[in-house]
């Protein structure tokens, strides 16, 4: 028995190391798909944005790098990788280098609770919506850090605008999310998607799977809430007409004025990833998530990925469309829209939805 005990004690560290290796492998396998998706999606969206903006302005955009310029995003990435990574002499070098990675980490962390299909989501936690709002707040820290560490007045002003804008628009975002949570009774985005399964008539945008009387009463409030959620999400991503932190005509390039090379590319990768994240949240909460709009037809885990990505990409296209169509708001108009338009409307929607559900 003594020999057996000694043998077991010798095996415990070995087994522990093997279990640790397995857990790391499982973590990497679970975390890799969203990162691969973000990288491929960013290339596609970059090309789409340039082509859409060109057609809106009646020009052709990329044409020579591959067929119709399809390889131009790859060429842009290769160019940025090879560019010199400069750091201003007067900058806080540690914080300056850390800021872009922190911004991307805040965005990437949000993808952990996004249900791409009924068979895949990074982390199936019950407080998914709450976690998502909390994780996205990390981005504010990174943007403030980049502006302050740059020791540049334009960067600092852009970072301060960004912090004020993100903090302001998180209030209507959280209130809009609350409406969907009240109807579904869950903070788990996968459960919210399951709640809406069965066809387009069950989407929360159209009142959810409720009796017809309730659906008709809920419809105006869910539609207004969805619209505000999407617009508030655009403001959090700093997209036109809410791009005050990067206003080129006023602030050179805002919080990333002093950045170059790959760090500059990471800021843009985070912005494009955030565009899809906003669209994914709106899709999960109001447009059925991964569920098919045709009920049981074209449904299943694989089709779920297709429908989820298509819905998300449609709203990414809408964000691109709005960028090249609408003028930029003034700072006072930006704050007015959040505190005096969106927030009061959402309080009315929350009260009305609660009353309808109770009665």
How high does pLDDT run on average in the chain?
83
- Torsion sign over Cα 131, 132, 134, 136: positive
Please report the pLDDT score of residue 11 as a whole number: 45
Provide the sign of the torsion angle of the four alpha carbons 223, 317, 284, 335, taken in this order: negative
pLDDT digits (tens, 9 = 90+) for 238-267: 887 888 777 767 777 777 788 878 888 888
pLDDT band at 3 (very low <50, low <70, confident <90, very high): low
Q: Has residue 161 got a pLDDT over 80?
A: yes
pTM of the full structure? 0.86
Straight-line distance from the first to the last Cα atom of the chain, in angstroms, rounded to the nearest whole number: 70
> pLDDT (tens digit, 9 = 90+) per residue, 126-139?
887 888 888 888 88
pLDDT tens-place string over residues 344-355: 999 999 999 999
Is residue 294 predicted with pLDDT exceeding 80? yes
Residue-wise pLDDT for 60-70, tens only, equals 878 888 888 88
CA distance 201 to 184: 15
Decide: helix, strand or coil at residue 115.
Answer: strand
Whether 316 contacts 324, CB under 8 Å: no
Q: Which is higher by pLDDT, 261 or 16?
A: 261
Q: For residue 146, which phi and psi values (nearest 5 degrees)? A: -65, -40
Of the pLDDT bands very low, low, confident and very high (cuts 50, 70, 90), residue 4 is very low
Give the tens place of pLDDT for each residue, 114-124: 888 877 777 77
Rounded to the nearest 10 degrees, what angle do helices 301-323 and 2-56 cross at? 40
């Amino acid at each position: 028995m003594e020999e057996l005990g000694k043998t077991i004690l010798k095996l415990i560290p070995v087994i522990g190391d093997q279990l640790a290796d397995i857990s790391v492998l499982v973590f990497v396998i679970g975390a890799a798909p969203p990162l691969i998706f973000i990288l491929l999606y960013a290339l596609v969206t970059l090309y789409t944005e340039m082509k859409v903006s060109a057609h809106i302005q009646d020009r052709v955009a990329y044409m020579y790098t591959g067929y119709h310029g399809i390889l131009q995003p790859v060429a842009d990435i290769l160019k940025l990788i090879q560019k010199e990574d400069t750091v201003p002499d007067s900058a806080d070098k540690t914080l300056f280098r850390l800021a872009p990675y922190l911004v991307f980490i805040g965005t990437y962390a949000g993808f952990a609770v996004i249900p791409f299909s009924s068979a895949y989501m990074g982390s199936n936690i019950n407080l998914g919506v709450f976690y998502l709002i909390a994780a996205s707040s990390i981005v504010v820290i990174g943007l403030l850090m980049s502006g302050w560490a740059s020791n540049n007045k334009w960067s600092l002003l852009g970072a301060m605008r960004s912090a004020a804008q993100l903090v302001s628009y998180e209030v209507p975002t959280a209130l809009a999310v609350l409406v969907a949570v009240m109807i579904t009774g869950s903070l788990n985005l996968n459960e919210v998607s399951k709640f809406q399964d069965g066809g387009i008539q069950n989407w929360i945008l159209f009142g959810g799977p409720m009796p017809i009387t309730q659906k008709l009463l809920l419809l105006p409030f869910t539609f207004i809430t969805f619209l505000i959620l999407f617009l508030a999400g655009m403001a959090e991503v700093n997209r036109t007409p809410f791009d005050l932190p990067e206003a080129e005509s006023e602030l050179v390039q805002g919080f990333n004025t002093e950045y170059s090379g790959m760090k500059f590319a990471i800021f843009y990768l985070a912005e494009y990833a955030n565009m899809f994240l906003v669209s994914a949240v709106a899709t999960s909460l109001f447009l059925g998530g991964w569920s098919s709009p045709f009920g049981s037809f074209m449904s299943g885990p694989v089709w779920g990925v297709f429908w989820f990505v298509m819905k998300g990409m449609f709203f990414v296209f809408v964000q691109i469309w709005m960028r090249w169509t609408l003028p930029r708001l003034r700072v006072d108009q930006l704050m007015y829209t959040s505190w005096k338009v969106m927030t009061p409307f959402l309080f009315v929607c929350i009260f009305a939805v609660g009353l309808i559900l109770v009665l």
